[in-house]
Structure 1
Amino acid sequence: MSVPNDFDVDDKVCVITGGSGVLGSEMARALGENGATVVVLARGEEKLRETGSELAAAGIEHLTVSASVLDRAELEAAAETVIDEYGRIDVLINAAGGNSPDATTGPDTSFFDLPAEGFQQVLNVNFTGTVLASQVFGEYMIEEGSGCILNVSSMNAYTPLTKIPAYSGAKAAVSNFTEWLAVHMAHNYSTDIRVNAIAPGFFLTEQNRYLLID
């Protein structure tokens, strides 16, 4: 199914963290179908290869880069790879995220039993990863004087669901950070550097299948 183009993304270089995931890969495909050059950044090599093959089969100009959003050195190396290949970074989509069973309450696990490590894992991948990627790729936008950062928040940021306190809190942090960064970029650097977020509802993934179906 083709996605209608309400925005001009032709020849834009778009970096997508979590680009091999359910949401990130669909964004990559839609942007590519509408003329963007897509950089898929993710950790899992197998999923990364699969996404790259799908984009290639669709004739989409793309680059796949293995990197963790929690490793600044890997992000910096990824950014340099993109610059070497395409010369600029127009768009950053922070789609890396997810929840963890270790941060989820249930029949056998109360809120008071949740381990701090589970909470930290969810906060890191959703919030800290968004911050680090914005720092690394955002600097190149400052050099260009323009760019777009799109963060992926969640409906949980505004109406927290039961069972997932860490995920809801992390996405609330993403929403707040988005507002802060939008003002920071416009006030200190350029009003042509835009920062926004989307707050989707449910997407069925292997990470949340145990919550929604099993």
Structure 2
Amino acid sequence: MMPVHENLKGRVAVITGGGGVLCSEMARELARHGVMVAVLNRTAEKGKRVADAINQQGGTAISVQADVLDRASLEKAREEILAAFGKVNILINGAGGNHPDAITDSEVHSGEPSGKSFFDLTEQGFSKVFDTNFLGAFLASQVFGEALLAAEAPVIINISSMSAYAPMTKVPAYSAAKAAINNLTMWMAVHFAPFGLRVNAIAPGFFLTAQNRDLLLDENGEYTERSQKILKGTPMKRFGQPKDLLGTLLWLVDEAYSGFVTGVTVPVDGGFMAYSGV
């Protein structure tokens, strides 16, 4: 277990998508360091489970229903959080995911009229995935930005992906959105640097989550062909676990450790991005 960062005690973190596999782990870890956590989730029950677990373990958390693509919903959540905690020091833009309507069936175009091709992707599906991963981070940063600027040691953490650097096959909307997240992270870092608001991102490698389980495991729970490709390209030869992100998270949110770090995206990928394949 990592040492407690004492200077994080009493700070407030807002985590969008806080009911998900990776962000719920982040929420629990921040709470262990004395951070008061607001778990934002479109599905209220998922967020409530995370908040309840934190409170039962002696931390402080609330669950707030919010849709990151609905500004009014985010504004309502902000007022509820400020009423409960009085401030916001940390924003983690973790809401994201994929959708079948934005995923091709094959990795490359086959020319055959079978399966879902690039030409079968719907505008609605593509937009939904792009907006959830990118526009949601933009809107949440806007809505919580002024509260962050008024707080001590403010920081925004965006969640990127390996697909931002080299787009994964089958998932063009997700890949494009994560590439945009890296760019937005740098833009906001420059924009807010004179006011002390640091903006960074974490780019997880391949983690087994609810969103990608069907791509990585077959009906028997065995690794798919896609999984085998990923592991072959990952020098550490395993998928990431949620706890693998926590050290990087703590480093980035604690200004005592990373006070001069802004505008970077940190890969946590088991060496995937460094490996050429030979």
- Structure 1 residues 137 and 29: CA distance shift in structure 2, 3 A: same
How big is the shift at 1:80?
Answer: 0.9
Deviations 1:119-176 (A, max 9, x none): 1010110000000000000111223474100000111101211111111100000110
Corresponding residue number in structure 2 for 1:101: 100
SS of corresponding position for 2:204: coil
- Give TM-score scaled by structure 2 length: 0.72
Distance in 1 (alpha carbons) for counterparts of 2:103 and 2:216: 13
Are 1:22 and 1:203, in contact at CA under 8 Å, matched by a contact in 2? no
Are 1:103 and 1:118, in contact at CA under 8 Å, matched by a contact in 2? yes
SS of corresponding position for 2:8: coil
Are 1:55 and 1:62, in contact at CA under 8 Å, matched by a contact in 2? yes
Which of 207, 210, 225 does residue 206 from structure 1 map onto? 210
Corresponding residue number in structure 2 for 1:13: 12
Distance in 2 (alpha carbons) for counterparts of 1:56 and 1:6: 19
Q: Does 1:142 align with 2:146?
A: no
Q: Percent identity?
A: 52
Corresponding residue number in structure 2 for 1:167: 174
Are 1:161 and 1:168, in contact at CA under 8 Å, matched by a contact in 2? yes
- Structure 1 residues 186 and 50: CA distance shift in structure 2, 3 A: same
How big is the shift at 1:8?
Answer: 3.6
Corresponding residue number in structure 2 for 1:124: 131
- Structure 1 residues 58 and 174: CA distance shift in structure 2, 3 A: same
- Structure 1 residues 30 and 3: CA distance shift in structure 2, 3 A: farther
- Which segments of 5 or more consecutive residues in structure 1 lack a partner in the other structure? none
Corresponding residue number in structure 2 for 1:88: 87
Distance in 2 (alpha carbons) for counterparts of 1:121 and 1:63: 27
Q: Which moved more, 1:200-209 or 1:61-70?
A: 200-209
User: One-letter code of the match for 2:20?
Assistant: G
Are 1:68 and 1:75, in contact at CA under 8 Å, matched by a contact in 2? yes
Larger Rg: 2
Distance in 1 (alpha carbons) for counterparts of 2:6 and 2:164: 26
Which of 144, 156, 159 does residue 152 from structure 1 map onto? 159
- Which segments of 5 or more consecutive residues in structure 2 lack a partner in the other structure? 107-114, 219-278
Distance in 2 (alpha carbons) for counterparts of 1:27 and 1:176: 23
Q: Which moved more, 1:101-110 or 1:116-125?
A: 101-110
CA RMSD of aligned residues (A): 1.5
Distance in 2 (alpha carbons) for counterparts of 1:8 and 1:119: 42
- Structure 1 residues 12 and 155: CA distance shift in structure 2, 3 A: same
Distance in 1 (alpha carbons) for counterparts of 2:192 and 2:152: 10
- Structure 1 residues 140 and 153: CA distance shift in structure 2, 3 A: same
SS of corresponding position for 2:178: helix
Are 1:3 and 1:30, in contact at CA under 8 Å, matched by a contact in 2? no
Task: Tell me the number of residue pairs that the alignment of Structure 1 and Structure 2 aligns.
Answer: 210
Distance in 2 (alpha carbons) for counterparts of 1:97 and 1:3: 27
Corresponding residue number in structure 2 for 1:70: 69
- Structure 1 residues 177 and 24: CA distance shift in structure 2, 3 A: same
User: One-letter code of the match for 1:38?
Assistant: V
User: One-letter code of the match for 1:206?
Assistant: A
Q: Which moved more, 1:2-11 or 1:58-67?
A: 2-11
SS of corresponding position for 1:92: strand
Corresponding residue number in structure 2 for 1:194: 198
Which of 113, 116, 119 does residue 112 from structure 1 map onto? 119
- Give TM-score scaled by structure 1 length: 0.93
